[in-house]
Chains A and B, each alone.
Chain A
Amino acid sequence: MCVGLSAKVISVKDGVAIVDASGAKREVSAELLDDLEPGEYVMVHAGAAIAKITDDDKNETDKLNEEYLK
């Protein structure tokens, strides 16, 4: 249900953020996240930043591998 795309926050103003995904820029709602700062990465869905992204998928899966699969 939920195509998400990770994108970098370029600017935030009045609850609206401009995000950049590999050069594709778009206005999205920033109302769902507190204290969003330029430079942070967010998951974008249906025109809203729904979550901050705090790591990349490689690090994340490497940690899971270490913890659960060894």
Chain B
Amino acid sequence: MSDVITLAHGSGGRKTSELIAELFKKNLGNEYFTADDAAVMPKPEGRIAMSTDGFIVSPWEFNGGNIGKLSICGTVNDLSCMGAKPLYLTCSYIVEEGFPVEDLEKIAQAMGETCRKAGVKIVAGDTKVAGKGQVDKVFITTAGVGVIADGVNLSGANAKPGDKIIVTGDVGRHGTCILLARDEYGIEADVKSDCAPLWDAVEAVLAVCPEMHVIRDATRGGVGTVLYEICDQSGVGIDINSEAVPVAPEVRGVTGMLGLEPLYLACEGTMVMFCPAEYADKVVEALKQTEHAKGAAVIGEVTAENKGRVVMTTSIGGKTYLPQPGNELLPRIC
């Protein structure tokens, strides 16, 4: 096979078949992986959940993962947030002409590994090659199907006053890691992306708390954005304790230098959970037993007051609104 991806790899001809066989099938193959026009699988028992997500992260490789791992975690975690055990994924690549085949293989390897960890199978895929400059190296879209157990009913509209709010780990890692990887601000720090598939964590939580109200993945916009989304959807207020929000020291250092708030930086392996207060301790305990949620912590609770707002109790005992996220994150000196 050649060293770089050419337009011929996306033509649907022999080169495309080669790419599928040597690169994708090798890393992602399973009994359902198809060369036909659609994959055929047995029908799962129960309700199904379906989700899709596009990934365009730049740079495509970062401390703690790459765009391949990310594209699996993203859809696996979206399904998991609905309480759905992820079963099948599809993936669609758009690759820039000239992208090294070796790097595409790295991406496929990471996808294969992550799928095995998360217990999902990629059943169908597509590859298109775009001319030089038409995309930034490689874009991936994944879609997935999962199955929801009876009795599980998760939704962003389910938060109730009195619910405890739990994060599954320290916040803002992925965003900080990408900021560092772009090397625009001359800052060096060892910050690893939290990028990870979290179905096992969700499964563990649902086992101890089937009445869990809300689970949401804190991706773009970070935990702060999730909190505001849930306030809106559930028509409640939220009270969080700023001291209780876990932030890694290096993330604190980098964001401190740039004047950014970790609560708005993306996570890719951290969820926010809302559960009835009596389950909170059990949920945190269960999370801590799983590989990617050892830093789980209760950060606040749902209130009937201050509907639509997130109130933060600060280190000196003051109260303030957490600002509504929205604009482009720009470092500030002032």
Proximity bits, A3-44, B CB within 8 Å = 1, else 0: 101010000000000001111111100000000000000001
Rounded to whole angstroms, the CA-CA distance of A30 and B254 in the bound complex is 20
Report the minimum CB–CB distance from A17 to chain B (whole Å).
13
Residue of B nearest to A2 (CB): B334
Binds A, one of B82-90, B209-217, B245-253, B293-301: B245-253
A interface size (C-beta, 8 A)? 16
The answer to whether B333 touches A24, judged by C-beta atoms less than 8 angstroms apart, is no
- Is B333's CB under 8 angstroms from A2's CB? yes
A27 vs B254: C-alpha distance when bound (angstroms): 13
CB closest chain-A residue, reference B258: A3
Q: Hey, which chain A residues are within 8 Å of B185, CB to CB?
A: 26
Question: Are A26 and B186 in contact, CB atoms less than 8 angstroms apart?
Answer: yes
B4 to chain A, nearest CB (A): 35
B interface size (C-beta, 8 A):
17
A3-B259, A5-B256, A44-B257 are contacts. A25–B334 as well, Cβ < 8 Å? no
Contact stretch, chosen from B25-33, B67-75, B123-131, B187-195: B187-195
B43 within 8 A of A: no
A23 to B189, CA, bound (A): 6
Contact in complex: A22, B249 (CB < 8 Å): yes
Within 8 A of A (CB), among B220-250: 249-250
On chain A, the residues within 8 Å of B47 by CB distance are: none
Residues of B within 8 Å of A52, CB to CB, are none
- Given the known interface contacts A1-B334, A3-B334, A45-B333, the answer about A24 and B257 at a Cβ–Cβ threshold of 8 Å is yes
Assembled-state Cα–Cα distance A39/B185 (Å): 23
**Cβ A23 vs Cβ B249 within 8 A:** yes
Question: Are the C-beta atoms of A25 and B187 separated by less than 8 Å?
Answer: yes
A62 to chain B, nearest CB (A): 15
Complex alpha-carbon distance, A34 and B249, angstroms: 29
Could you write out 5 A-B pairs with CB less than 8 Å apart? Answer: A2-B333, A2-B334, A7-B253, A22-B252, A26-B188
User: Which residues of B pack against A, CB within 8 Å?
Assistant: 185-190, 249-250, 252-254, 256-257, 259, 332-334
A residues apposed to B, CB below 8 Å: 1-3, 5, 7, 20-27, 44-46
Q: Which 3 A-B pairs have the closest CB atoms?
A: A24-B253, A22-B253, A23-B250
